[in-house]
Structure 1
Amino acid sequence: MKIYTKSGDSGKTQVYADEVIRLHKNDDILECYGSLDELNANIGLLISYSKCSVITQQMELLTEIQKHLFQIGFAISASTSLTADDVIQLEQAIDSLQADLPPQTHFILPGGHTIAAQAQVCRTVARRAERRMVALLQHHQVPDVCLHYLNRLSDYLFVIARAVNQHYLIEDVKV
């Protein structure tokens, strides 16, 4: 199978939903897909830092998150296997990571260790994907669990950034 089809050269692409439809590449559905894809790629980069024990401990969940992002994309088109339990899994991971962190009393600047900075990039892309989904919801049905998941995912990525900085003995930079 060739990677290029030339069918998108006119600024439209096919979306496989209940039926195949052609959309302009700047359609809200494709904007949301694009943000999810960018988030997935950035999480892949975060996973590549597996020499950090914080990332190693979260590797299985991070890989599951990548799969769940595909499920959110499927939900936009047709259906998903994402459930409320997947949101709860993120909440449990957040609680577990936060238990070892000092209480956060201020806003903090993104950065610190390179791995923490990458987790913050992932967080901001997750927030954008969430905003794109909110825009999409104004005229397209998507299961509520997808929005809940993206919201919780950005929180999880924020906590990973803090945990990585703590692991490397880098203090949060307070605003």
Structure 2
Amino acid sequence: MGFRLSKIYTRTGDQGQTGLGDGRRVPKDHPRVEAIGEVDTLNSQLGVLLAGLAEQPPLAEVLQVLGPCQHRLFDLGGELAMPSYQALTQTEVDRLEAAIDHWNGELGPLENFILPGGSALVAQAHLCRSQARSAERRCQALNAQEPLAPMALAYINRLSDLLFVAARMIARRQGVPEVLWQAHTPAQ
């Protein structure tokens, strides 16, 4: 992975195609490019969340757990751009599951649906979670056409779960009550 960009624009995509790491040229709306784009958007949204977490010392544990996820999302993007490249491992999926289990142990069971809100950081964590689900859907759509590595699919699935639990943990650490869903009951 020693390749470096010396020039940002190449003009090779002006006709609606882009190059993959394996040398193939595909349309910019190809399912593989769609998946790469969704993962990239998630990585950018996660960057916003991490920047906010870094400003809140009580949230250092959440930052420590989520920080490496940006790097692993870049790895996932690499796997998507270069189909023969494999970077994600069971160890990374296990790391996410361990964090989920640890935080859930502190949070206790969820007794109601919660809404994305309570604080800007909680809402941003939920935005990341929903973006992770979108990236997962794009990866699954691609997987139906061109099989992906099982670890890539497992990782993006667990990451969305982790982000949900992280949103709850952020609320707890900030002392912010979770916004509980109140079902609409039509007048009779």
TM-score bracket for this pair, using the shorter chain length? over 0.9
- The structural deviation recorded for 1:30 is 0.3
Scaled by the length of structure 2, the TM-score of the pair is 0.87
Whether the 8 Å CA contact 2:58–2:174 is kept in 1: the answer is: no
Are 2:40 and 1:37 equivalent residues in the alignment? yes
**1:137 alignment counterpart:** 143
After superposing the two structures, state which structure 1 stretch, 127-136 or 59-68, moved more: 59-68
Distance 1:113 1:12 in 2: 41
**1:62 alignment counterpart:** 66
Structure 2 gaps of 5+ residues are 1-5, 182-188
Whether the 8 Å CA contact 1:112–1:170 is kept in 2: the answer is: yes
Q: Which of 149, 160, 174 matches 1:154?
A: 160
Whether the 8 Å CA contact 2:62–2:170 is kept in 1: the answer is: no
- Kindly provide the CA deviation profile for residues 92-124 of structure 1, in whole angstroms up to 9, marking residues without a partner as x: 111122222142111111111101111101001
**1:96 alignment counterpart:** 102
Whether the 8 Å CA contact 2:18–2:25 is kept in 1: the answer is: yes
Percent of aligned positions that are identical: 37
- Kindly provide the CA deviation profile for residues 52-96 of structure 1, in whole angstroms up to 9, marking residues without a partner as x: 245422333323211111222222222212111111100111112
What is the SS of the residue equivalent to 2:170?
Answer: helix
Whether the 8 Å CA contact 1:54–1:163 is kept in 2: the answer is: no
For these two proteins, the number of residue pairs brought into alignment is: 173
Whether the 8 Å CA contact 2:132–2:159 is kept in 1: the answer is: yes
Distance 2:42 2:58 in 1: 19
- Kindly provide the CA deviation profile for residues 14-64 of structure 1, in whole angstroms up to 9, marking residues without a partner as x: 1112xx011110000000000000011111111101122454223333232
**1:7 alignment counterpart:** 12
CA RMSD of aligned residues (A): 1.4
After the TM superposition, which segments of 4 or more aligned residues of structure 1 sit over 6 Å from their partners? none
After superposing the two structures, state which structure 1 stretch, 114-123 or 54-63, moved more: 54-63
**Bigger Rg, which one:** 2
Amino acid at match of 2:18: T
Whether the 8 Å CA contact 2:168–2:178 is kept in 1: the answer is: yes
Structure 1 gaps of 5+ residues are none
Distance 1:53 1:107 in 2: 28
**2:184 alignment counterpart:** none
Compared with structure 1, are the counterparts of its residues 165 and 109 closer, same or farther at alpha carbon in structure 2 (3 Å cutoff)? same
Distance 2:101 2:32 in 1: 32
Distance 2:86 2:76 in 1: 6
Distance 2:174 2:21 in 1: 44
Distance 2:171 2:140 in 1: 31
Whether the 8 Å CA contact 2:79–2:86 is kept in 1: the answer is: yes
